Amino acid sequence: MAESGVRLGIIGCGIMGERIIRATLSLDPGMIRLSALWDPDPAARRRLSAELPDLPFVDHAPDVAGLSDVIYVASPPATHLGHARIALGAGRAVFTEKPLAVSIEESHAFLELVNQSGSAAAVNFIFASSPAVASLKGWLADGVIGSPEHLEISTQFAQWPRPWQMDANGWLSRRAEGGFTREVISHFLFLTRRLCGPLKLGSASARYPGGDGAETAIAADLTAGDLPVRLKGGVGTTDQADHNLWTLTGSRGAIRLRDWSTAERLTAEGSWVGDPEAPSHELARPMILKGQVTKLADMVRGQPHDLATVEEALEVQIVVERILASG
């Protein structure tokens, strides 16, 4: 590893790739720095280079591995593990975007490869670095809600993809790789797994439009450890671009995560209250991603971190793909 910091290579410079680029540039290069970037779209490279002219773009995806200590894969889901396998083959650590893949069989094989390779690997579930989630953990540790009794997860969208994702509409709006269950609900399933226990799917239903379009509604009952979980999601069910609630109810009260980054407690009077100085998700997101990249540097150096493991990501993926297959 270079003395000047962990060398981070990135494959895929769309929305998430750009966000990780900016998060990395905001950190000390003595800890982690950009070493090689690749995207198949010349327009994406030109756009980023115009604003950030010193970005180290390379001509071919495999070139990234030779110039990096760890590769972040932010390409469309069906290509995640192909790039990740190349990185592992070169002896590099891997940080892949979620979902891990769309094929459960491919992900099982990838997990075996990770275990055999000895290389570090993790998946970018952002709740691993969320200050709001840290608040939820603290409340649970303090016994604020008593014994957890049930959990409800709701995700709603005015349209899918969301307005800021339209550049990726070609795959995000399609059943093969896209849809809000893979893109959004997977985050809340990861959170549920982390805070409540192993996931097991019971009943599920998914509704699709005609053709090859992604799902427009899903519902499922599952358990996290012994905790009953009710999950639902839909498109065209709100006038907000993105509205979500993760609500855990116990014997003495309830806590929730609202719209990604607002942690709230239910008062005895029946109102939800949180930290009035807590940042909005738009302000919290750069902080969260800086936390993820910092932990990535720790992972590469063999230091403790709590990024999502490949095992956790596979468990989430299995639930997601089984929900989608129910339609």
Q: Do residue 106 and residue 173 come from a single domain? A: no
Q: Do residue 241 and residue 138 come from a single domain? A: yes
The verdict on residue 237 lying in a domain is yes
Question: What does the alpha-carbon distance between residue 94 and residue 300 come to, in Å, rounded to a whole number?
Answer: 9
Tens of each residue's pLDDT in the chain, 327 residues? 445 799 999 999 999 999 999 999 999 999 999 999 999 999 989 999 999 999 999 999 999 999 999 999 999 999 999 999 999 999 999 999 999 999 999 999 999 999 999 999 999 999 999 999 999 999 999 999 999 999 999 999 999 999 999 989 999 999 999 999 999 999 999 999 999 999 999 999 999 998 999 999 999 999 999 999 999 999 999 999 999 999 999 999 999 999 999 999 999 999 999 988 888 899 999 999 999 999 999 999 999 999 999 999 999 999 999 999 999
Q: Do residue 122 and residue 134 come from a single domain? A: no
Bridge pairing between strands 227-235 and 243-250: unpaired
Q: Domain total for the chain?
A: 2
Residue 9, CA atoms < 13 Å, CB-side half-sphere:
27
Question: What does the alpha-carbon distance between residue 179 and residue 214 come to, in Å, rounded to a whole number?
Answer: 5
The candidate with the shortest Cα–Cα distance to 309, out of 321, 322, 325, 295, is 295
Q: Do residue 136 and residue 115 come from a single domain? A: no
The verdict on residue 136 lying in a domain is yes
pLDDT at 142: 97
Q: Do residue 195 and residue 77 come from a single domain? A: no
The verdict on residue 1 lying in a domain is no
Cut 0.85: pTM above it: yes
Q: Do residue 134 and residue 185 come from a single domain? A: yes
Q: Do residue 222 and residue 246 come from a single domain? A: yes
pLDDT at 2: 46
Does residue 304 have a cis peptide bond before it, meaning omega lies within 30 degrees of 0? no
Longest dimension (CA), the chain: 61
Question: What does the alpha-carbon distance between residue 115 and residue 111 come to, in Å, rounded to a whole number?
Answer: 6
Note whether 295 and 178 are within 8 A (CB). Answer: no
Note whether 161 and 168 are within 8 A (CB). Answer: yes
Question: What does the alpha-carbon distance between residue 234 and residue 180 come to, in Å, rounded to a whole number?
Answer: 9
Question: What does the alpha-carbon distance between residue 4 and residue 73 come to, in Å, rounded to a whole number?
Answer: 22
Note whether 265 and 272 are within 8 A (CB). Answer: yes
Question: What does the alpha-carbon distance between residue 98 and residue 76 come to, in Å, rounded to a whole number?
Answer: 9
In sign, the C-alpha dihedral spanning 108, 109, 112, 114 is negative
Question: What does the alpha-carbon distance between residue 307 and residue 300 come to, in Å, rounded to a whole number?
Answer: 12
Q: Do residue 193 and residue 60 come from a single domain? A: no
Q: Do residue 154 and residue 220 come from a single domain? A: yes
Q: What is the CATH number of the domain that holds 78?
A: 3.40.50.720
Domain of 193, in residue numbers = 128-278+315-324
Q: What is the CATH number of the domain that holds 181?
A: 3.30.360.10
The verdict on residue 122 lying in a domain is yes
* 271 burial level (CB within 10 Å; 0-12, 13-18, 19+): exposed
Q: Do residue 31 and residue 179 come from a single domain? A: no
Q: Do residue 198 and residue 250 come from a single domain? A: yes
Instruction: Measure the N-to-C terminal CA separation of the chain; round to a whole number of Å.
Output: 47
Question: What does the alpha-carbon distance between residue 238 and residue 268 come to, in Å, rounded to a whole number?
Answer: 28
Displacement of CA 40 from its chain's centroid (Å): 22
Q: Do residue 161 and residue 302 come from a single domain? A: no
pLDDT at 1: 47
pLDDT at 120: 97
One-character DSSP codes across 132-178: HHHHHHHHHHTTTT-SEEEEEEEEEESSSS-GGGGGGHHHHTBTTT-
Question: What does the alpha-carbon distance between residue 48 and residue 243 come to, in Å, rounded to a whole number?
Answer: 30
Question: What does the alpha-carbon distance between residue 129 and residue 289 come to, in Å, rounded to a whole number?
Answer: 8
